[in-house]
Structure 1
Amino acid sequence: MSGFTSELFHRRVPQFFLFYLGASWVVVEFTDWLANRYLLSNNLVDMVLVGMFSLVPAVLLLAWTHGARGKDRWTRAEKIGIPLNVLVTTGLLVSMFHGKELGAAAEEVMILDEQGQTVEHLVPKPAFRRKVAVFFFDNEGVLPEDDWLQYGMTQLLVTDLSQDRFIGVWNPWGGFENSNFAYIRRAGYDDGTNVPLTLLQSVASKYYQQFFVTGEFTRVGDDYVFTAQLYSVDPARLVSEHEVRGRDPMRLADLLSTKIQEEIVLVEGTEEINPDLPVAELLTNSMIALKHFVDGRMSLLLDNDQEAAIAHLQAAVEVDPTFALAYALLAQVYQVVGNTSEALVATKQAMQHDYKLLQDTRFRLKSLDYFLQGQMDKFVRVIEMWTELQPDNPEAHTQMAFVYMFIGDQREKALESFARARDLGEDFVLMWEAKLHEANRDMDKALAAYRQFAESFPEDHTPWVYVGRLYRREGDLDQAREATERAALLGSNFVTPLVDLAELELREGRLDEAWFNLENAVEVAKDDGQLAVVTGKIVDWHDAQGQMQLASEAVDEYLELIRRTQNPVNFLAITSRELRHYVKANRLDDALARLQEFEGKIQPPFNRFIDLGYMGIYLEAKQPDLAEERLLLVEEFLREMQRDDYAFVIPLSRGAILYQRGDLAGARENLEEASALFDTSIHSAFGEEDRSVRLCLLLLAEITRKQGDLEAAGSHLAEVLKVWPWNATANLVLAQLRVAEGRDDEAREALERALYMWANADPDYDLAQEARDLLASL
């Protein structure tokens, strides 16, 4: 044995080192046990391991100087080396673990439920949750009857993985108005299958996911063979690939889910708080019921076919009456088709078996149940609970924002919720934030939000469409045109920029140019939804020229397209808004018949849109008594639903009724109130100024002119003409004002603009004849 080795043993350095290793192992194991027992961060274990390892030099130095038997003295090397080692260790730990969560991975949260009861929940901290997107699988076999499993396996994996509270699962059918799937469909993959990995990674990145799962399957004899790939998002790379084989897709989903969980979880020892049931226990044991459920869900996502969805979902619950998720989805579909009673039956059936539902689904279900019952306070409280218990769920915060925005008009809270959803990856909410800023008349913040949207989606035309509309609303038509033309360059395959360009041409009196854009938009339209957008503007093109017969015929086509692309409740709401064109074309009976078709089919509360439609028809037909009867019902409906955002509708309608009765003072008071309410209403930012503002301001101009308040009349007209300089009706009213002021030359100019727009008006269009008579009298 060499002299140095002998000296090491004499000073007992190996013994002390082995003892230190053993003690370190005990400390690390104890820390690991603590982390598992109390759901502490695994970073804590890593930090202890790094710290113990980095202190080895100090241990060796101590053993060397003090390991030999007998009395020892502290040396200069120890006095410098040990503090230096401790300092280096401290610096190493700070550099490696600064900013990392070292405490508990979950926290106890006490919240009040909708009944006012205090409930305790264990909520994972966002830092410890992993986010994974699960996309559709590809069928690489030859049996088309297996195609449903392309979506079925995704449903199974999403459900199974979602049991883990430390995993946030993104799915293709989620998001506001199916916004998740929109990015895939927009790229040309209409059924969501056989999508390139680059696009999947891009979509996952847009939603701030950390991982994404895709895969394929085939048949080998009677067995299914599923292969799933787990990719990291940033950087994009394959993390692992797993293949499972067997006859039961549900069991195969359980196996794949377990393998994926093992790859991505950050916290160990969560078994005591995380359920890990077989996915069949959460959905159904019946493959037949599961297939009906998946077919129903995809009928909605791919075809917007509510009838087919209802048929499939009904079949699913007939096969398995305990299929809670099928009942929950069925309730949602019944809601959008306006069948409230069946929706309530479905919610009750789902809640009877809610032990099979995941937490977020229970929140959606309970909130829907309270909404359908009209218990709005409890409806709001349930959504608030959802955000408190799932603070990193962007859908929860998005829904909370919409609740704040449309119920009680709590805009600041809505902006906070949208900001939180955006922080969690829902960049599309920037559009809604901008709309809120527009409604608050803070155009700088609105433009900043739209431009941030454009930076997030540099190849998307949508933000520039909204920028154009903002400038259009402000009356800056040149800036509006510049932004809209930019949108048209980015979105050459979309109709919206062309339709908005047509709108600008129409406002500036360039009828041929407007029609040229509309013809191009028809050529670009890929489906009924896009064609409906174009047809709706064709209605406006005819209406602006006093061609009421052609406008009403275009409405026929427009409503048929809407019927094919919207759910029945939305179809009713849009129909109620458009029937005024029938009345202008002397088709009052057709307008009434259209609304009567909905009676008995749409149930409370959504059937109250029928009253709104009748009120609009009677106002256009100048039947104020019948309009007032419906107004009382509409007012009651808005009050029950706490729709403060529509507060302007009541004084606007009442003002029109009083005007038709000849009560100018009462009409002016109500219309001025409506104008003030509308100017800051959230709906003022959605392009509805084309109808509501024109009606309100033109009536105010007419009333104040008749009252002799010519200055007020001019002010109201200036607001209309700023955003629509060639509006024929506004120019007629302007001409009447100029005549009253003795400014006949300016009256002629206004009448020439009006008659240019009405050059091809219907022969019996009374406003065009009134303009011709006035011009002849000058």
Structure 2
Amino acid sequence: MRFFFIPIFILQIQTPVSEVTKSTGKKWQTVIKILAAYLVAAWTFLQFVDWVLIRYNISPYWVDILLWMFVGVIPSLIIYLYHKERINNGILKLREKIIIPLNILLIGVIIFFVFGNSDLGSTTKEVTFTNKSGEVERQTITKEEFRIGIPIFNFQQKNKDTLHSWLGNTINKVLKIDLQQNKTLMPSWYYVNNTIEKINTSRVFDKYYVDGEYEVSNGIYTIIPVLRNSKNGNEITRKTFSGSDFFSLIDEISIFIKNNLGIVKETQNTYIDLEIRDITTSSMEALKYWSNNSYEQATKVDDKFALAYLDNAIRRNKYSHGELEEKYQIDKAYENKAKLPTQIQFEILMYKNIIYNRWQDAKELVKYQLEIEPNNATYNYLLDLIYSETKNIEGYYKHASERFNKVKNETNARSYFQALILKREFKKAIDLIKVYEVMAPNTEEVQLIKAYAYLMSGDIKKAKETYKKVNLLWPKESIHKEEVKKYIAYKEKNDALNFNIEALDGFYRSTGSEQQIEYFKKANNYMVHYKNQLMYVTLPYNNMLLSLNGGWLGGSKHIFEKDSTNNIYRVQVQQFNQNNLNTFYYYKENKDISKAYKMLKEKKYDSLSSTFKNLVEKYPKHWFIKQAAQHIEYVKSTDKKALENQYKAIVGSYANRKFWIEDNRLYYKRDNLTKVEILPISKTRYISLTKFDTNYEFEFLPNNKIASFALVYNIEKEAWDSLKNNTNYLLKN
């Protein structure tokens, strides 16, 4: 109000005080009345504009821009209304010539910086794709920037009932699957019970979250979804749904959620809304197995359960359980995909390409699907997976940064953080964490990720300080913390790097599966990459590699072991999670070993005898190569007809264990285990190229009975342990 002082003072000289006071009071009353009318009119106009934008799918940012303009211009408006008689006559004083243009300029600058990168056009876009019939189709979808994030947390059981407790973390899963059909939404599911954790998970990126309650009584399901404000957890609305058909209730609840998120009917009707029983299963028993990750049990109950086959294939592929099993599961998913939403059908096809090593096809299909669903966690993970397989750090980083800049949610933030670590952009990574630290300063995971970033950057002092804070605020015992302490203590005394990654040339193959690890140096990073998983940066020290998970107390230590010739022949991987420690061994697999095993799978026995004899001499610690050589010699010395009869004698079922012949090859499978081909090394003993550490033995008993049991290789003892207990020693049916 300083700029009103001089004219009021002049008026006081020329006019009696009482008249000046009355005149000033009337002026301000007029200003306030007009300003109030202006605000009401502006608010009404904004409501109308908001309706128009929603009705015609135009960017909602225009409402925000107009609001900034209407509010921002108020200082200039007040000046004008108070001095309108003079200003209307074209008489402007210096202060008005400065303040009014400056006010308008300031509004323009703020709007430019706040909304300069925002999409101000349509909220939808049209994409084209080729359907399974080879025809080009067009589909209008909501742009990623305008989709509504909606975390769905597990539902609490009102009356404790162990028989139905599994539903608590199933309702949120199936709701997520049902809601993701609508491309206006970005649903996600979490298993979180605590309200504070729910708020911390959702408040940064999302306006709402869903949780709720349920109970089952006399075959009647009662589910109460609650829509909440993500900033404080306050309830916005709730509704009770009851009935004997669980799947129909889920369909009704998803409609209730969409209606209360402000999605108009016209937009909802843009997308196909399939029933959840068509997407998943109509069997509650199969659904229970699927929710508990018992996928094979789920498909036994419902052999058309495509999602269970897909999830099983994904899990098998991620941990390289066995190519035969991966192909079987993905082929079954593909066979039963007809009723699924288009995006899940494409997901099945993407994984089929990956499992069949059609990487280029997979990459093209993933990129196409990301046009339609740019924030689909599965598609983004698959593209990151492809970049990891090809060691493309630049592609990984570009993809992650573009995702995060378009949509800032937790998943994208985590991916972007890892990409910054890969690119060694440590300052940006730390600055990113500081943003979350401001919003959630007393969160253990945020502090752990911050400490991890300092550790990876080499700032040992700050890493030590942050880990000290974590230990003070959230004290708990864990192997992770002990390993970090050892690393920090080592780095404080030894600044020089004592590690030669070139000596690790080649892959390292698991003895219990087909999983491979590769170690390499890229962009000054010491990298570890498990086949079919993402690549990670490690911390080298004292002839070891330490790999840590940023936000939770887990990781792995890679210890390299040498043979009598001082060459590295295997790596001992110690995986730790809290206080659980598991040790796995991976043996070096150079090109000569890979080539020989490829020929062995193709049954090229004639040229393999000398090859494997040389490998046995070259790699004396690779005990499984000796067994492969035994197999070659046994097959070459056994008559073909005799070998066929040997197979036929043992095929059949042994309780839940099955052996059969397919295309002149002998296969084995046990419930929930991987399908493998088995190869004879004697009349009664067989090996597998999928699981080196397991042999399969048959015992011929009196009265034409045959028993089957397994032997497992004990790496510490360097001997085979025979398993002849009740669950392993099985008679042929």
Q: TM-score, normalised by structure 1?
A: 0.49
Matched, 1:76 2:121: no
Q: Displacement, 1:308?
A: 0.9
- Whether the 8 Å contact between 2:286 and 2:297 is mirrored in structure 1 is no
Q: Structure 1 residues 395, 60: closer, same or farther in 2, change over 3 A?
A: same
CA distance in 2, matches of 1:130, 1:88: 34
- CA drift of 1:161 comes to 2.9
Mapped contact 1:229–1:241 kept (Cα < 8 A): yes
How many angstroms apart in 2 are the aligned matches of 1:375 and 1:484? Answer: 34
Higher relative contact order (CA 8 A, sep 6+): 1
Q: 2:241 aligns with which of 222, 242, 246?
A: 246
Residue 425 (structure 1) aligned to one of 412, 417, 421: 412
Matches of 1:602 and 1:401, distance apart in 2: 39
1:87 to 88, 102, 111: 102
The aligned residue for residue 347 of structure 1 is 334
Per-residue CA deviation, residues 73-110 of structure 1 (Å, 9 max, x unaligned), is: 23336x75487345325525644773233613634255
1:104 aligns with 2:121: yes
1:600 and 2:662 correspond? yes
| Number of residue pairs aligned between Structure 1 and Structure 2 | 515
2:267 to 273, 283, 299: 273
Please report how far the alpha carbon of residue 240 of structure 1 lies from its aligned counterpart in structure 2 after TM superposition.
Answer: 2.8
User: In the alignment, which of 294, 311, 332 is matched to residue 300 of structure 2?
Assistant: 311
CA–CA separation in structure 2 for the residues paired with 1:82 and 1:504: 80
1:582 and 2:627 equivalent?
A: yes
Distance 1:599 1:509, change over 3 A: farther
Deviations 1:734-760 (A, max 9, x none): xxxxxxxxxxxxxxxxxxxxxxxxxx9
CA deviation vs aligned residue, 1:691-725 (integer Å, no higher than 9, x gap): xxxxxxxxxxxxxxxxxxxxxxxxxxxxxxxxxxx
CA shift in 2, pair 1:291/1:275, >3 Å? farther
> Residue 381 in 1 paired to residue 399 in 2?
no
After superposition, the Cα gap between the structure-2 partners of 1:18 and 1:415, relative to the gap in structure 1 and judged at 3 Å, is closer
Cα offset for 1:140?
4.0
Structure 2 residue 291 is the aligned partner of structure 1 residue 298:
yes
**Residues 428 and 99 of structure 1, relative CA distance in 2, 3 Å threshold:** closer
**1:488-499 correspondence runs (5 A):** 496-497=556-557
Task: Give yes or no for contact 1:327–1:350 (8 Å, CA) kept in 2.
Answer: no
Match of 1:692 in 2: none
- Where does residue 451 of structure 1 map in the other structure? 456
Counterpart CA distance in 1 for 2:70 and 2:552 is 62
Give the structure with the higher percent helix.
1
Alpha-carbon distance between aligned partners in 2 of 1:58 and 1:402, rounded to the nearest angstrom: 55
8 Å Cα contact 2:325-2:676 kept in structure 1: no
Structure 1 residue 144 corresponds to structure 2 residue 144: no
Report the CA distance shift for 1:52/1:422 in structure 2 as closer, same or farther (over 3 A). Answer: closer
Instruction: Give the superposition deviation at 1:403.
Output: 3.6
Q: How far apart in 2 are the matches of 1:582 and 1:490?
A: 41
Question: Is the CA contact 1:370–1:379 (under 8 Å) kept in the aligned structure 2?
Answer: yes
Check the 8 A contact 2:227/2:238 in 1, yes or no: no
Residue from 391, 405, 408 that aligns with 2:374:
391
Amino acid at match of 1:45: V
8 A contact 1:310–1:330 mirrored in 2:
no
Measured after TM superposition, the shift of residue 31 of structure 1 is 2.5
Q: Distance in 2 between matches of 1:522 and 1:24?
A: 60
Distance in 1, matches of 2:308 and 2:676, equals 33
Alpha-carbon deviation of 1:168? 1.8
- Equivalent residue, structure 2, for 1:31: 49
In the TM superposition, what whole-angstrom CA distance separates every residue of 1:540-584 from its partner, at most 9, and x where no partner exists?
A: 79x9xxxxxxxxxxxxxxxxxxxxxxxxxxxxxxxxx98425347
Counterpart in the other structure of 2:152: 134
Give CA deviations for 1:199-246 in whole Å, capped at 9, x if unaligned.
Answer: 6667779x977765444433577765545566777x7x4243654323
Could you say which residue in structure 1 is the equivalent of 2:713?
Answer: none
Q: Is contact 2:331-2:352 (8 Å) kept?
A: yes
Query: Does the 8 Å CA contact 2:31/2:78 hold for their aligned counterparts?
Result: yes
Structure 1 residues 365 and 602: alpha-carbon distance in aligned structure 2, compared to 1, 3 A threshold? farther
Offset, 1:338: 3.1
Instruction: Give the partner amino acid of 2:70.
Output: M
RMSD of the TM alignment (CA)? 6.6
Provide structure 2 residue ranges, at least 5 long, that are not aligned to the other structure: 1-18, 318-322, 406-410, 425-451, 471-477, 491-496, 505-518, 520-538, 590-621, 637-642, 652-658, 683-688, 690-716, 720-733
Deviation at 1:247, TM superposition (A): 1.9
> What one-letter code is carried by the residue in structure 2 that aligns with 1:272?
E
Counterpart Cα distance in 2 of 1:490 and 1:506: 34
| Rounded Cα–Cα distance in structure 2 between residues aligned with 1:277 and 1:14 | 48
Contact between 1:134 and 1:169, CA under 8 Å: does it hold in 2? Answer: yes
Rounded to whole Å, the distance in 2 between the matches of 1:490 and 1:110 is: 37
Q: Against the structure 1 CA distance between its residues 150 and 480, is the aligned structure 2 distance closer, same or farther, given a 3 Å change threshold?
A: same
Contact 1:130 1:167 in 2 (8 A): yes
- Mark the CA change 1:113 to 1:482 in structure 2 (over 3 Å): closer, same or farther: farther
> Is residue 281–residue 287 contact of structure 2 (8 Å, CA) maintained in 1?
no
Letter in 2 for 1:153: I
Amino acid at match of 2:171: M
1:311 positional shift: 1.1
Matched residues in 2 for 1:761 and 1:345: separation? Answer: 39
**3-state SS in 2 of match to 1:40:** coil
Normalized against structure 2, the TM-score is what? 0.51
Which of 326, 340, 345 aligns to 1:362? It is 345
Structure 1: stretches of 5+ with no match in the other structure: 173-191, 318-322, 438-446, 544-576, 619-629, 631-759, 763-778
Letter in 2 for 1:108: K
Measured in 1, the distance between the counterparts of 2:552 and 2:119 equals 51
Structure 1 residue 51, shift from structure 2 partner: 2.5
How much does 1:13 deviate? 6.9
The correspondence for 1:47, drawn from 42, 53, 65, is 65
